[in-house]
Structure 1
Amino acid sequence: MQSAALPAVLESDANLVLASPTASGKTAIAEAAIAKTLSAGGTACFLAPMRALTNEKEREWARFEALGYTVEVVTGERDLDPARARRADVLVMTPEKADSATRKHDSRRYDFVTEVDTVVIDEVHLLDSDRRGSVLEVTIARFRRLCDPRIVALSATMQNVAEVADWLDAPESATFAFDDSYRPVPLEAGVETYTHGDNAFADKYRRLYRALDLVEPHLREDGQALVFVASRQDTVRAAEKTRDELAERDVPVGARGDYDFHTDAEALSDDTLRQSVLDGVGFHHAGLATEDKNLVEEWFRDGTLDVLFSTSTLAWGVNLPARCVVIRDTKLHDPLDGEVEMSPLDVLQMLGRAGRPEYDDVGYAWVVCDRSDERRYRRLLAEGRPIESRLADDLETHLNAEIALGTITSISGAMDWIGSTFFAVRAGDDRDVRATVVAAIEGLVEHGFVERDGDRLESTARGRLASKLYLRLQTAHRFARIATEDDPNDRDLLRAIATAEEFDSVSARSAESDAIEAVLGTGANAGEDLDAGARKVLAICEASLSGTIPAALKSDAWVIKQNALRLCNALAAFLDRFGTPERANRARRLEARLEHGISADAIGLTAVDGIGASRARKLAASEIASPWALQSASIESLEAAGLSAGVAERVHEQSQELPAIDIDWEGLPDRIAPGDQEIRELPIESVGGGAHAGIRVTANGREMTSDETYLGETTVPIALFGADTDAIEIEISVTFPREPLPTVRESRTVVVE
C-alpha cells in the first residue's frame, strides 16, 4: 500500500484520498505528507478524530521536535498560546476546535489557521458521524476558502472513495482504495447474539460471558483478546469479572509468579488496575493516568497481558492489535446524548484491530448484539457502508456561521458555498440542494439571525454572536429572549442553560432520580415541569454552585458541567449585548460559582488571577470576602488567612489590577429648597484597573439615568428637584457586566428644606 501511495504523496502537491485497512500503514502516509510540507518550509495541520488522540500524536511526534520542528496541540481543554501556535510547524487539532478557530481567523488570536499549507484528515469517515460529521465537512470547506491547503484524507473504512475524492478535487492518480487483501493479517468477522432480558445490568454480563466464550479458545493458544465496552466504568467492572471467570474456567493467563512483573506493576497509580494486570487482564480508558495507559499498552504489545478491556479510544489511532477483537456493547451512554447506537463506521474501525502482524495468520472479530440487530450487523460486515454527509441536519447553524463571517453575502453565494460541500456531492440533484438551502435561509431570516434584501444577505447582531459563541440557533434565540425579560434570578438562568438545545439528548437513569430530587427538592420551583434530562442538568448545575455533587450524578457531571460553563458564558454575553449590565453580571457571577463551587458572597474573589475555590474559602473565612477587601488587605493578613508568602504577594499585586471605584460626592449639595431644581455632574473613576461598567443613578428608588462605559473615568448627571418630600436619597450603583465582581453601591441624602 505504501509503495503504491507514496509517489502521489511525495512527487505531487495534489489533494489525496486514501482508504486502506487498519494496520496497513496509513500513519506513514500522513507523516510523509507532513514531512513534505515541512521540508518546503510550510505548516501542516493534523485533524485527529478525538481529543485523546491529539495527546497521543503529541507524544508520538516528539521525533519532529528532535529534527528542529515544533508540534503544537490546539484543543478546547488547553489554554491557547497564540504565539506558539503561530510559530508551530505542525498543528494538531480536533475538527471542533478547527471549526471554532477558522470562524475566528480574522482575530489576532487565531490568525495562524490562515497559514496552513497541508491539512491531514485522520479517519475522514468521521464525516458520517451524527453531529461531528457536519463540523468536519464545513471546516474543510472553510480551510479551502481561507488558504487553499493541500488536503490528505485517510480512512480505514470508506466505501465511496470516489465521491470523497470528487468533493476534494483529488485526481485519479491521487485516489486510492485498497481492499482487505492489503490487510497485513486476513480477517474473519462475524456476529454473535445473546438473549435480551429485562435488566440492563444483567444483560451486560450475558454479553460478557458470550464475549469470553469467543475469547477463550484463543487465550488457550497463547493469543490475545481486545474487548470493547461502552464506558470507562464498564472496562473496570468487566476486567474484575473476567479475572474470576477465567480462573473458574482454568484458563492459563496471568503473571503472578513473575517477580519482575510484580515489581513493574507497582508503578501503576490505579490500585484496581495493579491487581488486575497480575492476572493477565487489563483495562484502558481516557480517564487513566497517562503513565498507566502507557504501561498497559506496552504490556499488551509485548504479550504480558492476555485480555484488554477498552473504550473506543483504542480503535482510533492507537496501534494495538489483538488476535481476536470482540465488541461487547453496541450501545453507548453519552452524557449529552443519552443512549446512542455505535456508529457503523466505528464498528468497522474496532473490528479492524483484529490480527497481529508478524504473529497471527488470521484475525478474528465479532460483534455481540441482540437478536433483533443480528441481520443489520451481518449486512454491515458483508457489504460495508458508504459515507454520508450530515450537513443537512445542522445546515442553518453552519449557514449562519458563514454569513456571520462574511464568506456568504448573498443567496447566490450560498449556492456556491453549498456546491463546495460533500453534501452537494452526495445529494446529486441540484434542485433539491437549492430548495434545502433556501429553506434554511428563510428560517434564519424568520428567527432574526439574518436580514435579507433581495439576493443580499447580512448577519444580525444575534447571528454574529451565535456564531462567535458556537451556539445552536434555538439556544441563541432563547438567550436573546431572556435578555429582554424581567430581571431573571439565578434559578431562571440555570433553567435556561438546562433546557438549552445542546442538552436536548441528555437522559436520566432511574438510579439518579433520588439524587436529582434531593438537590432540587419538590414544588413549583423545583423544575418538575421539565423533562428528566433537563432536570438532571439543572440538578448538576445547582449542586455545582456549592461544590457538592451527589455521588449518583458524578459519572456524567464533569461533561455536563463543562458544557454548562460554556453556555453560561454565552448567556452572559447575550445579556450584555441585548439586556442590562445587571443581568449580565448576574450570569457572570453564576458562571464563576458553577466553576468554583463557592458562595455568592465570596465569588468575586475569583476575579483575581491565582484565586480559585480553595483560596477564596480561606480568605472568606478570615473575613476577606470581597475583592475590595482584598485590595485593602495587607500581605501579612493574607498570610494569616492561610496563603503562603509568595502566593499572598502575587494575589495582592493582582488584586490591584481590579477596578476600584471612587465617586466624588463633593459636587452634591447637602440640601435643596422646596421647588428648586439643580443639575450637578459627579465624577466617577476607577483608581485601580479599568473595566467595562454599567452605571445607574436612582433618586428615592426611581431610575434617573443609566449608562454603560469603560472606566477609566466619567461623569454622571444628577438632577435634583425639591418636590413634596423631606429628603432625596441619591444612589449610584456600578455594575460589571463582564466580570464576576459584586456591584458597588453608594448613596447620599439631600435634605429638602
Structure 2
Amino acid sequence: MSELTIDELPIPPQVKEVMYERHIEKLWPPQVESIKAGLLDGESMTVSAPTSSGKTLIAELMITKVLLEKGGKALYLVPLRALAAQKLEELRKWERLGIRVASSTGDFDRYDKWLADYDIVVLTYEKCDSILRRRATESWVTETNVVVADEVHLVGDRSRGPPLEVVLTRLKKINPEIRFLSLSATISNASQIARWLSSKLVVSDWRPVPLKQGVYYGGLIHLDTGETVNVKHTGDEPVVDLTLDSINKGGQVLIFASTRRQAESVAKKFTGKLSLSEGEKKELSELAKKLGSFDELGPTHDELVSLIKSGVAFHHAGLSFDARTILEQAFMARKVKVLASTTTLAAGLNLPARRVIIYDVTRYEQGFGRVRIPVLEYHQMAGRAGRPGLDPYGEAVLIARKADEVEELLEEYVRSKPEPAEPQLLGELTLLPHVLSNVTSGYAADEQKLREFFSETFSGTLSSKPSMWRSISRCLKFLLDNSFLTDEGGYLLPTAFGKKTSEVYFHPYTAILVKKAADYGVSGVDRHSLHLVCLSVEVPKPRLGMKEKEDLSYEIDQEEDELPVSLEEYVETMMDLSPDPYEEYLGAWKAAKVLEWWVNEVSEAKIEEAIGVQPGDLYQLYTTASWVSRGIASLFQTLKSDRSLVKAYTDLSVRLESGVKSELLPLVGLRGIGRVRARQLYNSGIKTLKDVAEAPVEKLTQLRGVTTQLALSIKEQASKLSSSV
C-alpha cells in the first residue's frame, strides 16, 4: 500500500498541527488502509490489527474530523477502568482545540448528566449500558455521531460481551446514522463483527516492530521460522536465563504468569541479579521511597518496595491503583527492567518490552481445573513484544518443560490463528437483565419488539432465532412472575420495583434477595447488613479453603437468625444461577467480615495481614459494595420499607466508600478529607461541620497532611454545608 502523509489528509489544519507536534508525519499501513477504505469519508469501520499498530490514532483522526467539522459527540468505549484512564489521558491532548474530554467508569446507579457538557466521553461498556437505561440521559446520547468500541473482540468474553453487544445495538437504534469504529485484536471472525455493525473491514498483520516468536528449551529458542537462538546458560532456571540474555543486550523483559503468586515468585528470582549503574540504583531507590510513602503498607506492598530496588517488580490486580500506576510509569521510563505480571497488562495497556516471556500456558478455572489459555490470549501477550523506536525487533517466547513440548507449543500457539469471538448473549440467565432494561427504558413494549432488538445483537445475527426467542419468552415469564413487569393486554409495563432494579444496574436475582430482606429490621450489627450486600450477584465472592468453609459455616450457624436472608432462602433463590450457592453464601459471609473491618477503620495493611485480602481486591470489594448498598437503599425505598432500613443502607454506602465509623460521616463529606484525616480531626475534638467551620486554620494545619490551602478549603466547605442544614 502506498504511503500517506498527514499533510495529504482531508482533516482540519489544527489537527495536522497537533500531529506534527507529536512528530507524526507519515501514517502506518493499518492507518493508510483505513483512510483508503473511507475512514474520513463517512464510513463505519472495523479495524482488526495487532497490538501497538496505531489503532488509537485511527480513532483520533475519525473523532477530531467529525467533531470539528460537524459537531456532535463521540463515545469511546473500553473494557477496563485502567484503560479508560489511559485513553482519557491520551485524548486530553485535543482539549487545546476546544474539544472537551471526560470519563466516567463507576457508580452505575448515577445519572452523570454532567457528561452532556463534553464532546468526547470515555466509558466502560457497563457504564455506558447503565447510562442508556435512563431515558433522561438520551437527550445528550442522541447527539452522539461517533462511537469507538475499543477491544471489540471482547464480544466473545463471558462477562464483558453481553453489555457490549447490548450497548452497540441500542446505540444503532437510538441513532441509525451513528458511525462506528470498532478496534479489534487479530481474530478469525472480524468479518462477522464488521457485518453486524454494517462497517467496512480493514484487516492488517503489520507491526511497527518485527516480531520473532518461538519456544525455549535446553538453551535454545526454537523460532517458528526453523531457526534457533542460543541463550547463555547461567545455571539458573529457564526464565532467568531468558531474561538476563535480553537485559544484557539492552532490552526490557515482560514476563506473563498465570497467577498473582506466580508473578510475585518469578519477580523474586531476580533479586540482586541485574547489573545496575550507580545512577540506576539511585533512581530505583527514589522509586522505592515513593512507593514506601503510602499511608498504609501491607505485606504485598512491602515486598514490592524491597524488590524494586533491584530493577524488577511484579504487577497484578491485587496491588493498589496508585502502586500499579507508578510501576507502569517506571517501566515505560525504563527504570524497571523486568516486570512479572498477570494478564492484566495484556488487556490493552500500552507497556511494550523487547522480550515477552509466557511463563505458563495453563491456569486454574473453577469447575475445570488446569486449562490451557486461549490462542487469542497468547497473541495479546505476544503483541506486547517490541518497543517502537527502541527495539529492532520484539521477541515472544514460550517455555517448554520437556523436549516434545517444543513443536506442540509452536503448533498450538505460534502457528495458530486466534479463536473467533463467540456470541455470549445466549440463555435466559444472561439475557434476563437486558430483557428487563429494554422494557424499563421504553425501548421495547412487547415481546415482538424484544425479539426484534435481540435479533440485531451480535449473538442474534449468529445464533438460532427460535432458540433465542424461547429464551426471551422464559425471561419474560420470570420477570412477570416476580413482579418486575406486568402484562396489560400484550403491552409490557415495568413495575416500580422492576424499573428501580434496572436503574440501579442490579441483576434481577439481586433484587429478589433484597425483596426477601425488605421486612428485616436494622440489627445494629454491621456484619449482618453487609452480608446482604455481599450476597448480591454484583459483589465478588472470595474463594475459600476447606478449613475456612468449616469455620465460616460454624459462625453462620450461630448468627443465621439475625441475617437478612437465610441460607435456605438464598439457596432456593440462586440455585438456577449459581453452581454452588452454599459456598457463595459462605463467601459472602467472609466478604462481609472483611468489609466490617474496613468500615470500622482497620488499616488496609492489617486486613491483608490477617485475612489475606490485597489492597486492589479490597478496593474492588468496597467500591462495588458501596454502590450495591446504595442500590439496596433505593430498592427498600421503592418497596416502602421502614425508613430506618433505608437510612441504614444509605449511611452504610458512604461508610463503605470512605472506610469509616458512623461518627465520621459528616467529615468525610468534605473534599480532601479521607478516613485518616477525618479520624485525626475527630480525635482532636473537631467532630462536626460546625467545628470545622469554626476551627482556627492554625489548629487544622497542626494535623498531619493538612496544608493551609486544604484547611481554608474545608473550612469554606463546612461553612456552606452547615449553614444549609
- For the aligned pair, the TM-score class normalised by the smaller chain equals 0.7 to 0.9
Residue in structure 2 matching 1:384, options 413, 418, 428: 418
Worse-superposed segment, 573-582 or 74-83:
74-83
Residue in structure 1 matching 2:280, options 252, 255, 261: 261
Indicate yes or no: 2:721 matched with 1:654.
yes
Q: Is the 8 A contact 1:72 1:84 kept in 2?
A: no
For 2:378, the equivalent position in structure 1 comes to 347
Indicate yes or no: 2:77 matched with 1:28.
no
- The code of the aligned residue for 2:418 comes to G
Aligned in 2, Cα 1:55/1:647: closer, same or farther, shift over 3 Å?
closer
Residue in structure 2 matching 1:484, options 519, 536, 542: 519
- 1:461 deviates by 1.3
For 1:49, the equivalent position in structure 2 comes to 79
Indicate yes or no: 2:494 matched with 1:432.
no
- 1:474 deviates by 0.6
- 1:332 deviates by 7.1
CA distance in 2, matches of 1:131, 1:55: 21
Q: Is the 8 A contact 1:328 1:368 kept in 2?
A: no
- 1:447 deviates by 1.8
- Post-superposition Cα deviations, 1:221-264, rounded to whole Å, max 9, x if no partner, equal 554421123566765553232235xx3xxxxx432xx3433444
Residue in structure 2 matching 1:460, options 483, 488, 495: 495
Q: Is the 8 A contact 1:609 1:654 kept in 2?
A: no
For 2:45, the equivalent position in structure 1 comes to 16
- The SS at the match of 1:483 is coil
- 1:374 deviates by 11
Aligned in 2, Cα 1:44/1:243: closer, same or farther, shift over 3 Å?
same
- The code of the aligned residue for 1:440 comes to C
- 1:25 deviates by 2.5
- 1:134 deviates by 0.7
- Post-superposition Cα deviations, 1:97-148, rounded to whole Å, max 9, x if no partner, equal 11122222414xx753332211111111111111111111111112222234
Aligned in 2, Cα 1:76/1:369: closer, same or farther, shift over 3 Å?
farther
For 1:540, the equivalent position in structure 2 comes to 594
CA distance in 2, matches of 1:589, 1:373: 58
Indicate yes or no: 2:135 matched with 1:135.
no
Worse-superposed segment, 455-464 or 278-287:
278-287
- The code of the aligned residue for 1:270 comes to L
User: What are the residue-to-residue correspondences of 1:20-99 with 2, within 5 Å?
Assistant: 20-40=49-69, 41-76=71-106, 85-99=115-129
Indicate yes or no: 2:206 matched with 1:175.
no
Q: Is the 8 A contact 2:209 2:393 kept in 1?
A: no
Residue in structure 2 matching 1:395, options 428, 431, 445: 431
TM-score, structure 2 normalization: 0.74
Q: Is the 8 A contact 1:104 1:468 kept in 2?
A: yes
Residue in structure 2 matching 1:589, options 651, 664, 670: 651
CA distance in 2, matches of 1:620, 1:181: 60
- The code of the aligned residue for 2:275 comes to G
Aligned in 2, Cα 1:52/1:621: closer, same or farther, shift over 3 Å?
closer
- Post-superposition Cα deviations, 1:610-643, rounded to whole Å, max 9, x if no partner, equal 5764566567657886x7xx66998269998999
Q: Which runs of 5+ in 2 are unaligned?
A: 1-29, 219-235, 293-302, 568-581, 704-710
Aligned in 2, Cα 1:175/1:112: closer, same or farther, shift over 3 Å?
same
- 1:524 deviates by 3.5
- The code of the aligned residue for 2:532 comes to A
Indicate yes or no: 2:150 matched with 1:122.
yes
Q: Is the 8 A contact 1:321 1:355 kept in 2?
A: yes
For 1:365, the equivalent position in structure 2 comes to 397
Higher share of residues assigned helix: 2
Indicate yes or no: 2:174 matched with 1:153.
no
CA distance in 2, matches of 1:225, 1:634: 53
- The code of the aligned residue for 2:635 comes to F
- 1:400 deviates by 0.6
For 1:408, the equivalent position in structure 2 comes to 444
- 1:64 deviates by 1.4
Indicate yes or no: 2:561 matched with 1:502.
no
Q: Is the 8 A contact 1:46 1:90 kept in 2?
A: yes
Q: What is the aligned length?
A: 618
CA distance in 1, matches of 2:720, 2:456: 53
- The code of the aligned residue for 2:330 comes to L
- Post-superposition Cα deviations, 1:422-469, rounded to whole Å, max 9, x if no partner, equal 011221x22222222222222221222121245321111121111111
- The code of the aligned residue for 2:529 comes to L
- 1:405 deviates by 0.1
Indicate yes or no: 2:672 matched with 1:635.
no
- 1:341 deviates by 8.1
CA distance in 1, matches of 2:677, 2:510: 35
Aligned in 2, Cα 1:136/1:340: closer, same or farther, shift over 3 Å?
farther
Higher share of residues assigned strand: 1
CA distance in 2, matches of 1:339, 1:650: 54
Indicate yes or no: 2:623 matched with 1:562.
yes
User: What are the residue-to-residue correspondences of 1:596-607 with 2, within 5 Å?
Assistant: 596-600=658-662, 602=663, 605=666
- The code of the aligned residue for 2:650 comes to R
- The SS at the match of 1:363 is strand
Q: Is the 8 A contact 1:608 1:655 kept in 2?
A: no
- Kindly indicate whether structure 1 or structure 2 has the higher relative contact order, using CA contacts under 8 Å at least 6 residues apart: 2
Q: Which runs of 5+ in 1 are unaligned?
A: 194-207, 248-252, 659-753
Q: Is the 8 A contact 2:362 2:373 kept in 1?
A: yes
Q: Is the 8 A contact 1:211 1:368 kept in 2?
A: no
- Post-superposition Cα deviations, 1:464-487, rounded to whole Å, max 9, x if no partner, equal 111111111111111122113466
Aligned in 2, Cα 1:497/1:210: closer, same or farther, shift over 3 Å?
farther
CA RMSD of aligned residues (A): 4.2
